[in-house]
Amino acid sequence: KRLALAAGEYRLLILTLGYCGIRWAEASAVKAGRLSVPKRRIRIVQNYTAVKGVLELGPVKNHEKRSVPLPRSFADALGSLAHGRRADDLLFTAPEGGPLRYANFRSRVFDPAVKEAGLEGMGVTPHKLRHTAASLSIAAGADVKVVQTMLGHKDAAMTLNTYSHLWPDRLDEVADALDAGRKVALALADASLTDA
């Protein structure tokens, strides 16, 4: 919250990165028409990449088009940001309009916001907000397939290799369920023996 507030007019971009798990290149290419406030989704279909200093709009990494969940807590504010824009207009823009450039955003907005929020020395970057989104989703109960889809990973193995340590250890839960099933099965078996 402190980082988002410190980012000023880019507060909603910081919240989107930190809760939706999209890559910087994807966030910079989100079009207003790909935001659905009623469904609380952002459709990720393109990204910007810098080629010899020129930003080029292209397909997302691994060609993994997807819809990501949008928390209700700031969905309406994103809707207000998109209001009055054409469907093909960028949702997040540079101060003069047009696409955001990563280096400019880092030096002019993000790094000063990190400092103002008291997060210096923690290695906070726009990409690390993607990890924040994954961590928060897992803590909220998301399974591996949901996190995989949200992040646009090619397969669940990549998601597990990166985030498996964040899922809770459910071994006791499994052992308790096995005990409960065994108890029922033994009771049924004992009942059938006494009825015979």
Q: Is residue 125 part of a domain?
A: yes
Q: Is residue 153 part of a domain?
A: yes
Q: Is residue 173 part of a domain?
A: no
Which tens digits make up the pLDDT trace of 102-152? 999 999 999 999 999 999 999 999 999 999 999 999 889 898 999 998 988
Residue 63 has pLDDT above 80, yes or no: no
Query: How high is the mean pLDDT of the chain?
Result: 91
How many domains does the structure of the chain reveal?
1
pLDDT, average across residues 8-20:
97
Q: Is residue 9 part of a domain?
A: yes
Q: What is the pTM of this model?
A: 0.83
d(CA 71, CA 59): 25
Q: DSSP letters of 90-124?
A: BSS--TTSS---HHHHIIIIIHHHHHHTT-TTS--
Q: Rounded to whole angstroms, what are the CA distances from 138 to 109, 115, 141, 146, 160? A: 28, 28, 5, 9, 11
Q: Is residue 180 part of a domain?
A: no
Q: Is residue 135 part of a domain?
A: yes
Q: Where are the alpha helices (DSSP H) in the chain?
A: 2-6, 11-20, 24-27, 72-82, 102-105, 111-116, 126-139, 144-151, 156-163, 171-195
The domain that contains 81 carries what CATH number? 1.10.443.10
Range of the domain at 137: 2-166
